[in-house]
């Protein structure tokens, strides 16, 4: 990659976007000098380097007069670092920090990192607690009154049904310190192990699959390894839209001559850069991955020395993949023998290969098997533990690695993946937290909604998540939320879930608090408060502390550094990580066992995290998706993200500039299928599964293969999760099968019940 040190990039679009981004980060205020810069960038007449430094004012404000603080992005888990320019409590603009403080992004940020800050003080922002009045409507309340209602509601449930009738959904948007307290609050204060988070909906199968094979359920690499690799293999990842800055890094590698192989049901934007793009049918990944493993073993292309010295189980794998001949793979997946061999030979012939994936590989009823098959492929080719080799599951929400996993707001694990079924672990946390802990794991998020249906759960405390839209089979999830005896929602906005709540507590955004996030390559980075909390909102950790103390505990944290200190002493893989070190050293990657440990750039350099230090290759067969197309529902629906939006849109929908680009969901349909069903580009169509229906505009595009349709996940009025299934779960990780649902599509006749008339379909590409 061209040096980041001179703050330049080869990508002309990115240069323009960078400068324009800084300009527009100031919320479209007139910027004379920046207009000049943007014009110069567009015309290519600016000198190379230091483009950002040409801007000296924002509107009528001199940069020198503004407050500047560096922080970590609160959108995706790439973990970009940037400086935030503020005037009082107004966020004016952001720009990437100096490269040495931003190892994962250098000079880049994406459209969300540059522009998406209006949500902080948007009209819908919650600034005071809300409680239900005698008519069942929300009214504003003091913190005292809201806390009293919450404490009374939680205690009533505990007294009548026991603590295990309470559940908690923790927030992967919140800091590590806050998520540590969420796990502690569930076990110590509520007395339940039913605490989980959005990790269950996305990469839990990655965690389960990698942990079984290598020991740690996390990326083995640093993002720098993409630059050290000879070839990159991506599958189930719309990298450009879901992890934009990482995509830029990968695209630069291809421009520099590296090989990129992409297997995906959609010809996603990064596939345009690929040396090989292969279309696959959603739901059959085990088959083509096993086919590659078989081809590599049968043709002696595997790394014999690595397999011999650092793995066990090759004989079982050899036997398990026998049936996955190239012809069989073609018959089941549509991947031709030539494409299969070509990809397998690329992987086997390059010395250093990095494997990346996102939810296309995990959100299946057999996601854990998919991951184990991929882990086998990396291991038999010796692509682990050396620079430029390894596996990288690209995590989604900003802190799902840290807050969603490492910090242990999980039904079966304490922080640092310490199992609650282990007596020693339980004893350690019982002593530290002064409470008894049930040895039985609680319900996973996806199970919570089924358990509540069976009257096994009566109360829920939901922090920074929106299960009413994000859970599979969202009609069912909404019914459960409505029936919940006591529901507390803590969020920035009155989201769809909050509409069912008894009490709503206003929380702070990442710009209003200090703590740490852990990004997708296990890097713990500082998050710093740059503005005061809006209205009467409070940080999640302050709310948890207030509630814990009103429920008889004595928490007395003065700041999040003290929480981090308590957490690290109980969590070996974070044992040497303090906020002071994270700040001084510009981030630290776990495992980091003590204060002298430098952190771990790359896992498995010497041994795997297993009892015998070997990678445990897994014999993986083939499981069909739980619901295949049939006569009634002849198409296969797969879902995903678009660049301009973030999950259920609570943070991006208030952004006028973002909405200009993408203000609704759509469905992509192949031209052949569109012709069969009499659909033209832009037509409104009904998309229907056995669980519900939605009305969306059609985008007719060859980007998606025939027989498959794609719809994004971001809007309430066209919530695609009405179509997905709450009951088809991965048996190991309980991750839902978001990526395969049988649907039918029909043109809308007459007036649609959704008002779309002024809106044009938008492209999902950047």
Report the interface residues with ligand SF4, using CB under 6 A.
73, 75-76, 78-80, 105, 109-110, 112-113, 243-245
**SS3 of residue 283 by DSSP:** coil
Closest separation in Å from C-beta 713 to ligand SF4: 16
Closest separation in Å from C-beta 78 to ligand SF4: 4
CA 197, 200, 203: angle at the middle one, nearest 5?
120
Token pair belonging to 312: 């066990």
Measured from the CB atom, is 51 or 658 closer to ligand SF4? 658
Closest separation in Å from C-beta 429 to ligand SF4: 32
- Which residues have CB under 8 Å from 689's CB, separation 6+? 633, 637, 723, 724, 725, 741, 742, 743
Burial class (CB in 10 A: 0-12, 13-18, 19+), 752: middle
Closest separation in Å from C-beta 264 to ligand SF4: 19
Any idea how long the chain is?
766
CB 409, CB 461: distance < 8 Å:
no
Measured from the CB atom, is 111 or 166 closer to ligand SF4? 111
Measured from the CB atom, is 154 or 273 closer to ligand SF4? 273
Residue nearest to ligand SF4 (CB): 113
Residue 124's alpha-carbon distances to 93, 141, 339, 342, in angstroms, are 21, 17, 50, 52
Closest separation in Å from C-beta 219 to ligand SF4: 15
Closest separation in Å from C-beta 392 to ligand SF4: 15
Place of tokens 């934007």: 269
Closest separation in Å from C-beta 267 to ligand SF4: 22
Measured from the CB atom, is 191 or 587 closer to ligand SF4? 587
Q: What are phi and psi of 542, to 5 degrees?
A: -70, -40
Task: Classify residue 420 by its DSSP letter.
Answer: T
| H helical segments located in 337-417 | 337-349, 359-362, 367-380
Closest separation in Å from C-beta 368 to ligand SF4: 26
Residue 348: other Cβ atoms inside 10 A = 21
* Cα separation, 539 vs 514, whole angstroms: 9
Place of tokens 């007069």: 65
Residue 551: other Cβ atoms inside 10 A = 17
For residues 420-445, b (16+ Cβ closer than 10 Å) or e, as one string?
A: beeeebbeebeeebeeebbeeebbbb
Measured from the CB atom, is 112 or 728 closer to ligand SF4? 112
Measured from the CB atom, is 73 or 711 closer to ligand SF4? 73
- Which residues have CB under 8 Å from 479's CB, separation 6+? none
* Cα separation, 141 vs 136, whole angstroms: 14
Measured from the CB atom, is 104 or 481 closer to ligand SF4? 104
CB 244, CB 111: distance < 8 Å:
yes
Measured from the CB atom, is 249 or 616 closer to ligand SF4? 249
- Which residues have CB under 8 Å from 422's CB, separation 6+? none
Measured from the CB atom, is 92 or 448 closer to ligand SF4? 92
Token pair belonging to 724: 């997905």
Measured from the CB atom, is 78 or 577 closer to ligand SF4? 78
Closest separation in Å from C-beta 240 to ligand SF4: 10
Closest separation in Å from C-beta 185 to ligand SF4: 28
CB 255, CB 1: distance < 8 Å:
no
Token pair belonging to 158: 């505990």
CB 408, CB 186: distance < 8 Å:
no
**SS3 of residue 191 by DSSP:** coil
Closest separation in Å from C-beta 399 to ligand SF4: 11
Place of tokens 């670092």: 81
Measured from the CB atom, is 25 or 390 closer to ligand SF4? 25
Closest separation in Å from C-beta 575 to ligand SF4: 27
Measured from the CB atom, is 52 or 557 closer to ligand SF4? 52
Closest separation in Å from C-beta 29 to ligand SF4: 21
Closest separation in Å from C-beta 56 to ligand SF4: 24
Measured from the CB atom, is 75 or 433 closer to ligand SF4? 75
* Cα separation, 690 vs 268, whole angstroms: 28
* Cα separation, 605 vs 382, whole angstroms: 11
Measured from the CB atom, is 245 or 340 closer to ligand SF4? 245
Place of tokens 């990659």: 1
- Would you state the torsion angle of the CA atoms of residues 750, 756, 758, 761, taken in this order, to the nearest 10 degrees? -110
Measured from the CB atom, is 311 or 397 closer to ligand SF4? 397
| H helical segments located in 189-232 | 204-213, 225-228
Token pair belonging to 598: 């430098």
Measured from the CB atom, is 75 or 633 closer to ligand SF4? 75
Closest separation in Å from C-beta 314 to ligand SF4: 38
Closest separation in Å from C-beta 79 to ligand SF4: 6
| H helical segments located in 381-517 | 423-433, 445-453, 467-470, 474-483
Token pair belonging to 360: 């296309």
**SS3 of residue 115 by DSSP:** helix
Beta strands at 615-616 and 311-312: parallel, antiparallel or unpaired:
parallel
Measured from the CB atom, is 635 or 658 closer to ligand SF4? 658
Closest separation in Å from C-beta 643 to ligand SF4: 9
């Amino acid at each position: 990659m061209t040096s980041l040190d001179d703050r330049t990039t080869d990508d002309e679009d990115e240069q323009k976007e960078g400068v324009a981004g800084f300009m527009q980060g100031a919320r479209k205020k007139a910027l004379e000098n920046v207009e000049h810069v943007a014009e110069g960038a567009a015309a290519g007449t600016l000198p190379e380097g230091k483009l950002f430094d040409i801007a000296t004012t924002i509107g009528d404000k001199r940069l020198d007069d503004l407050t500047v603080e560096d922080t970590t992005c609160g959108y995706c888990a790439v973990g970009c670092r940037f400086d935030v320019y503020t005037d009082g409590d107004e966020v004016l603009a952001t720009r990437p920090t100096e490269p040495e403080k931003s190892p994962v992004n250098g000079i880049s940020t994406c459209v969300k990192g540059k522009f998406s800050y209006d949500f902080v003080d948007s009209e819908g922002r919650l600034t005071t607690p809300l409680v239900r009045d005698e008519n069942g409507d929300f009214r504003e309340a003091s913190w005292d009154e809201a806390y009293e209602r919450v404490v009374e509601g939680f205690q009533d449930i505990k007294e009548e049904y026991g603590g295990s009738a309470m559940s908690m959904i923790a927030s992967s948007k919140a800091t590590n310190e806050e998520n540590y307290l969420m796990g502690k609050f569930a076990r110590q204060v509520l007395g339940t192990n039913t605490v989980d988070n959005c990790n269950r909906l996305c990469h839990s199968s990655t965690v389960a699959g990698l942990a079984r094979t290598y020991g740690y359920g996390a990326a083995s690499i640093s993002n720098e390894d993409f630059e050290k690799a000879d070839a990159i293999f991506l599958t189930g990842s719309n990298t450009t839209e879901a992890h934009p800055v990482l995509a830029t890094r990968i695209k630069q590698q291809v421009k520099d001559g590296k090989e990129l192989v992409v297997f995906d049901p959609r010809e996603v934007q990064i596939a345009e850069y690929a040396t090989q793009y292969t279309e696959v049918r959603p739901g059959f990944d085990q088959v083509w991955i096993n086919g590659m493993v078989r081809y590599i073993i049968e043709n002696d292309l595997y790394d014999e020395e690595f397999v011999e010295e650092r793995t066990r189980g090759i004989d079982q794998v050899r036997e398990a993949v026998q049936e996955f001949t190239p012809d069989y793979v073609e018959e089941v997946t549509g991947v031709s023998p030539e494409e299969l061999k070509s990809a397998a030979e690329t992987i086997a012939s390059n010395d250093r290969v990095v494997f990346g994936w996102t939810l296309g590989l995990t959100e299946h009823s057999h996601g854990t098997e998919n991951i184990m098959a991929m882990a086998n492929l990396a291991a038999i080719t010796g692509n682990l533990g050396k620079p430029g080799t390894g596996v990288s599951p690209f995590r989604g929400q900003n802190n799902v690695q840290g807050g969603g996993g490492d910090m242990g707001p999980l039904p079966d694990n304490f922080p640092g993946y310490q199992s609650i079924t282990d007596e020693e672990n339980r004893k350690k946390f019982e002593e530290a937290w002064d409470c008894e802990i049930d040895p039985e794991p609680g319900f996973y998020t996806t199970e919570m909604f089924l358990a509540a249906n069976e009257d096994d759960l009566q109360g829920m405390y939901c922090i920074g998540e929106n299960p009413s839209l994000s859970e599979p089979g969202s009609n069912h999830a909404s019914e459960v939320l409505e029936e919940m005896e006591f529901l507390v929602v803590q969020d920035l906005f009155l989201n769809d879930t909050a509409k069912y709540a008894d009490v709503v507590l206003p929380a702070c955004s990442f710009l209003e608090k200090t703590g740490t996030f852990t990004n997708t390559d296990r890097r713990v980075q500082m998050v710093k408060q740059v503005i005061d909390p809006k209205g009467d909102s409070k940080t999640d950790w302050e709310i948890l502390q207030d509630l814990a103390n009103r429920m008889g505990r004595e928490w007395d944290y003065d700041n999040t550094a003290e929480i981090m200190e308590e957490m690290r002493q109980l969590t070996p893989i974070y044992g040497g990580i303090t906020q002071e070190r994270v700040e001084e050293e510009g981030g630290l990657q776990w495992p980091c066992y003590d204060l002298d440990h430098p952190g771990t750039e790359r896992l498995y350099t010497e041994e795997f995290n297993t009892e015998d230090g070997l990678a445990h290759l897994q014999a993986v067969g083939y499981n069909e998706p739980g619901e295949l197309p049939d006569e009634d529902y002849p198409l296969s629906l797969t879902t995903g993200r678009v660049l301009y939006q973030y999950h259920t849109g609570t943070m991006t929908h208030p952004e006028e500039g973002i909405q200009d680009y993408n203000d609704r969901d759509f469905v992509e349909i192949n031209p052949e299928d569109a012709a069969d069903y009499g659909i033209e580009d832009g037509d409104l169509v009904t998309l229907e599964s056995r669980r519900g229906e939605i009305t969306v505009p059609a985008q007719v595009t060859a980007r998606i293969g025939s027989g498959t349709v794609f719809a994004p996940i971001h809007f309430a009025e066209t919530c695609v999760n009405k179509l997905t299934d709450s009951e088809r779960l991965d048996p190991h990780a309980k991750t839902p099968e978001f990526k395969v649902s049988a649907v039918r599509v029909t043109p809308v006749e007459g007036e649609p019940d959704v008002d779309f008339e002024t809106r044009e379909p938008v492209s999902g590409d950047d």
